[in-house]
A and B are shown apart, each in its own frame.
Chain A
Amino acid sequence: MNDDAYDVVVVGAGIVGAACADEFTRRGMYVAVVDRDMVGGGATAAGMGHIVTMDDSEAQFALTRYSQQLWQKLRPELPIDVEYDQCGTIWVAADEEEMIEVRRKQDYYGQRNVPTERLDAQTLTRLEPNLRPGLAGGLLVMEDAVLYPPCAARFLMERAQKQGATLHLGRSVAQAGQGRVTMTDGFEISANIVVNAAGAHAAKLTPGVEIKKRKGHLVITDRYTGFLRHQLVELGYLKSAHSISNDSVAFNVQPRRTGQILIGSSRQYRADQTEVDNGILARMLQRAQEYMPGLAQMLAVRTWTGFRAATPDKLPLIGPWPGDSSLFLATGHEGLGITTSLATARILVDQITGAKPEIPIQPYLPSRAAMEHAHV
């Protein structure tokens, strides 16, 4: 059983797959999207929905900043249930050592025209009165935002469909490459281009892709309007995200429009069960209460887990997969999938249409691993 030949078939209907489908169709290509479940599932359904400009490497900065600006431009078209809110991020410094890091970040962002404001202890308290006293200060990145990812993915996919994309949900993919995608029931879709946007499951589809699952936990509270105004992240977060092998937690909270608080974050390797890990959940919440003691008495309504797709060098894989001229990757976004989905789609489609990408693409090419090995 076959389907009409498409220009592109995208495997994965999460935020990255949806953004790719939207971008491909916008440029006039005939696109099919396949997912074993629904639109906006996987990590898209589980994650926090933070749009953040990161500074931990030039490549990370370029991609996140480009994409954050794309989200800003898209904002007027986003429906209300996407809950886009430019609340900004405050990177919280617990001590003077972390304030040095704040200054470094401020310089870094300043040199690259990202507006920020350094906050001393008093200003921090004024902006976020429910942070515990005694913190040193922080850095406010005012153009960062939050949104609700499942509805954002749905919006992008619906736009793609209006632009001619076809959507095949509830279809498990057995093989993707060599100009076609084959489902487990034998159904095949042919296309000139196959895009693996399968997130944490990308390695199953493309053997050799170095993607590992990194489990995260989140908790959401009842409504406490006014308790929290910005996304708050401790500067120690970067240590957590950088650790390759240890289980770690970091203080990271987000306000929802409803007044509910999203509490994170945790990272675990070698954990692929979806069950909530009570131990790491407890650690994560203890860390959060250390920064915001008022969380203690709040009602936690739900907890859940999700799997980020992590690569060895912490940069996503966006571009052609060596050895298969039809296969492209758009995956490995770890905790930045929501932020970088729009830019991922742009630079992927640029590579395919021959348009000039807005940012250098070498750091994200899947072939970089091979190139590195060649240099050893």
Chain B
Amino acid sequence: MNRQPRQQFDVLVVGGGPAGMAAAVRAAESGHRVGIIDDNPAVGGQIWRGESEAGSEASKWIERLQSSGAIVLRSRVFQQPGQRILLAEGDDGIWELSFEKLILATGARERFLPFPGWTLPNVMGVGGLQAMVKSGLPIRGKRIVVAGTGPLLLAVAAYLRQHGAAIPIICEQASWRKLARFSAALLAQPGKLLQGLQLKREVGETRFSANSWPVAANGRTTVESVTISRSGKPETIPCDYLACGFHLVPNIELPLLLGCQIQNGYVRVDDFQRTSVAEVFCAGEPTGIGGVELSLVEGEIVGLSAAGRIAEASKLFGRREKLRRFARSLDRTFRLRSELRSLPQPETIVCRCEDVYYSRLRDQSGWRAAKLQTRCGMGPCQGRICGLATEFLFDWKPDSVRPPIFPVRVKSLSGLTGDSNLELCEITGGRS
């Protein structure tokens, strides 16, 4: 391990998904010294996850990133010790990273809602199960029920089928009417429509059931079947896995820590993706859930802006606006229905880190009181999972963000006060 002084970047990008990569590529190709931070074993974020299929959009961007000269720092940002400095924790130590411009591309996470049996092993998120398959989980010949809400259901179901799983049913909680309106909106976006039709074809004989949601996951030590409600009628379907997630929610913890203005749960940005904090930009899902293409174009806009290439950035505004319209229709279509609030039973676990049951939370006056009295939200997930559930179930508002915004080693919180001799890891470029 080397002792390194503070690492300086012209542009520091937090998040190695489509938005982050596009931003880093554009800024680095413009000649700036660019660092890109991500905590996964490979870049690509959740959606591309180190994809290497030749010729795919993902692999093109990954290759471009590798040749751009941007430095990949495999780590997690957890604290802001001063102006224009962030601390990130890696495997062997921490990095102190200073920057002229900061681009937040922290992506989104799935929303999970509690229902009986949801904590059984092999009940995972929709993106969660896809991530596991991409990381080597064998699913050929397995039966997988896909449930929840959002375009991810169809996309992941198609992916799972491609890898040999049998998908007996896709349960979408949105109504047929909402979905029909959504499909009509897709007509305005031929590219999207084509994608949708392709996906529909790929899922083939899989039943697609709207007005449907999981009521219970059943099994002893792992999930063995799922009971779903289809327009009010219960049906139990045997399965090996349940992939269940209720759309995506932006990861805004770092923007909050930095003091960025948030509106309706998203980071507020101007045309050039600038946040309310000087020299801090934001691109991709934290500014609005809109999928890969919107993330890419926002990433390019912000990368070009940060590199001072304003005219080129402006040329992309039109494409961004079109994709934002799609994003807004996503939001409307996949809003959660109130029936989902009745899913948890008194003994259904809501906080998985601390095993806090629904009945213990029901009578609490708010998020803070619940935290203090039951320890809900006080575990390592720092309320990222249960906070979204309780917000939906009880309309509780989360409280303010404090460092560390991810659990980090005690050692990592105790370093770098001027003359500290904490060691830093060597920064490695390219493939991590």
Binding site for B on A (CB under 8 A): 38, 40-41, 45, 81, 150-151, 154, 169, 219-222, 263, 275-276, 278-279, 281-283, 285-286, 288-289, 295-304
- Residues on B with beta carbons closer than 8 Å to the beta carbon of A301: 378-380, 382, 407
Among candidates B378, B380, B414, residue contacting A282 with C-beta atoms closer than 8 Å: B414
Q: Which parts of B399-432 form the interface with A (CB within 8 Å)? A: 402-404, 407-417, 420
Pair A279/B417 contact, Cβ less than 8 Å: yes
- Residues on B with beta carbons closer than 8 Å to the beta carbon of A41: 368, 372
Tell me the complex Cα distance, A219–B79, Å. 14
Tell me the complex Cα distance, A304–B408, Å. 15
Tell me the complex Cα distance, A276–B408, Å. 16
Pair A40/B81 contact, Cβ less than 8 Å: no
Pair A222/B413 contact, Cβ less than 8 Å: no
- Residues on A with beta carbons closer than 8 Å to the beta carbon of B413: 219, 281-282, 285, 300, 303
| B397 CB, min distance to chain A CBs, angstroms | 14
Question: Is the C-beta of B198 less than 8 angstroms from some C-beta in chain A?
Answer: no
4 smallest CB-CB distances across A and B, nearest first, come from A285-B414, A296-B411, A150-B372, A299-B407
Pair A221/B417 contact, Cβ less than 8 Å: no
Q: A279-B417, A300-B404, A302-B402 are known contacts. Are A288 and B382 too (CB-CB below 8 A)?
A: no
Pair B409/A304 contact, Cβ less than 8 Å: no
| B378 CB, min distance to chain A CBs, angstroms | 7
Pair B410/A300 contact, Cβ less than 8 Å: yes
Pair A38/B368 contact, Cβ less than 8 Å: yes
- Listed by A's residue number, 9 A-B pairs whose Cβ atoms lie within 8 Å are A40-B372, A222-B380, A278-B79, A278-B403, A279-B417, A281-B414, A283-B417, A300-B409, A302-B378
Question: Is the C-beta of B373 less than 8 angstroms from some C-beta in chain A?
Answer: yes
Question: Is the C-beta of B369 less than 8 angstroms from some C-beta in chain A?
Answer: yes
Closest-by-CB residue of A relative to B381 is A301
Pair A298/B409 contact, Cβ less than 8 Å: yes
Among candidates B365, B366, B408, residue contacting A300 with C-beta atoms closer than 8 Å: B408
Interface size on B, residues (CB 8 A): 28
Pair B411/A297 contact, Cβ less than 8 Å: yes
Q: A150-B372, A169-B365 are known contacts. Are A304 and B417 too (CB-CB below 8 A)?
A: no
Scan B261-294; emit 1 where CB is below 8 A from any A CB, else 0.
Answer: 0000000000000000000000000000000000
- Residues on A with beta carbons closer than 8 Å to the beta carbon of B81: 278
Pair B378/A288 contact, Cβ less than 8 Å: no
Closest-by-CB residue of B relative to A287 is B414
Pair A300/B407 contact, Cβ less than 8 Å: yes
Pair B410/A282 contact, Cβ less than 8 Å: no
- Residues on B with beta carbons closer than 8 Å to the beta carbon of A295: 410
| B83 CB, min distance to chain A CBs, angstroms | 13
Closest-by-CB residue of A relative to B403 is A276
Pair B410/A288 contact, Cβ less than 8 Å: yes
Pair A289/B417 contact, Cβ less than 8 Å: no
Tell me the complex Cα distance, A286–B421, Å. 12
Tell me the complex Cα distance, A31–B374, Å. 27
- Residues on A with beta carbons closer than 8 Å to the beta carbon of B380: 222, 299, 301
| B409 CB, min distance to chain A CBs, angstroms | 6
| B371 CB, min distance to chain A CBs, angstroms | 9
Closest-by-CB residue of A relative to B417 is A282
Tell me the complex Cα distance, A353–B43, Å. 71
Tell me the complex Cα distance, A295–B414, Å. 11
- 15 extra A-B contacts, CB within 8 A, seeds A295-B410, A300-B410: A81-B373, A154-B373, A169-B365, A221-B410, A222-B380, A282-B413, A283-B414, A285-B413, A285-B414, A286-B414, A289-B414, A296-B410, A296-B411, A299-B380, A300-B413
- Residues on B with beta carbons closer than 8 Å to the beta carbon of A297: 409-411
- Residues on B with beta carbons closer than 8 Å to the beta carbon of A288: 410
| B363 CB, min distance to chain A CBs, angstroms | 12
Tell me the complex Cα distance, A303–B78, Å. 12
Pair A276/B365 contact, Cβ less than 8 Å: no
Tell me the complex Cα distance, A303–B380, Å. 12
- Residues on A with beta carbons closer than 8 Å to the beta carbon of B411: 285, 289, 296-297
Q: Which parts of B380-408 form the interface with A (CB within 8 Å)? A: 380, 382, 402-404, 407-408
- Residues on B with beta carbons closer than 8 Å to the beta carbon of A222: 380, 407
Tell me the complex Cα distance, A220–B377, Å. 13
Pair B403/A303 contact, Cβ less than 8 Å: yes
Pair B414/A299 contact, Cβ less than 8 Å: no
Pair B404/A303 contact, Cβ less than 8 Å: yes
Tell me the complex Cα distance, A150–B81, Å. 31
Tell me the complex Cα distance, A298–B411, Å. 8
Tell me the complex Cα distance, A298–B409, Å. 5
| A297 CB, min distance to chain B CBs, angstroms | 6
- Residues on B with beta carbons closer than 8 Å to the beta carbon of A279: 417
- Residues on A with beta carbons closer than 8 Å to the beta carbon of B379: 301
Scan B59-85; emit 1 where CB is below 8 A from any A CB, else 0.
Answer: 000000000000000000001010000
Closest-by-CB residue of A relative to B412 is A300
Q: A38-B365, A276-B402 are known contacts. Are A299 and B408 too (CB-CB below 8 A)?
A: yes
Closest-by-CB residue of B relative to A220 is B378
- Residues on B with beta carbons closer than 8 Å to the beta carbon of A281: 413-414
Closest-by-CB residue of A relative to B87 is A278
Tell me the complex Cα distance, A332–B347, Å. 41
- Residues on A with beta carbons closer than 8 Å to the beta carbon of B365: 38, 169
Pair A40/B373 contact, Cβ less than 8 Å: yes
Tell me the complex Cα distance, A312–B372, Å. 30
- Residues on A with beta carbons closer than 8 Å to the beta carbon of B372: 38, 40-41, 45, 150
Tell me the complex Cα distance, A302–B415, Å. 17
| A282 CB, min distance to chain B CBs, angstroms | 5
Tell me the complex Cα distance, A151–B370, Å. 11
Tell me the complex Cα distance, A263–B416, Å. 19
Tell me the complex Cα distance, A219–B407, Å. 11
| B116 CB, min distance to chain A CBs, angstroms | 24
Tell me the complex Cα distance, A288–B373, Å. 28
Q: A276-B403, A283-B417, A302-B402 are known contacts. Are A151 and B373 too (CB-CB below 8 A)?
A: yes
Tell me the complex Cα distance, A164–B414, Å. 49
- Residues on A with beta carbons closer than 8 Å to the beta carbon of B409: 296-300
Tell me the complex Cα distance, A297–B408, Å. 9
- Residues on B with beta carbons closer than 8 Å to the beta carbon of A303: 402-404, 413
A169, A283, A303: most-surrounded residue (chain B CB, <10 A): A303
Tell me the complex Cα distance, A72–B151, Å. 58
- Residues on B with beta carbons closer than 8 Å to the beta carbon of A285: 410-411, 413-414
Pair B410/A263 contact, Cβ less than 8 Å: yes
- Residues on A with beta carbons closer than 8 Å to the beta carbon of B403: 276, 278, 303
- Residues on B with beta carbons closer than 8 Å to the beta carbon of A220: 378
Pair A150/B414 contact, Cβ less than 8 Å: no
Closest-by-CB residue of A relative to B80 is A278
| A153 CB, min distance to chain B CBs, angstroms | 9
Tell me the complex Cα distance, A125–B416, Å. 31
A297, A302, A303: most-surrounded residue (chain B CB, <10 A): A302
| B75 CB, min distance to chain A CBs, angstroms | 15
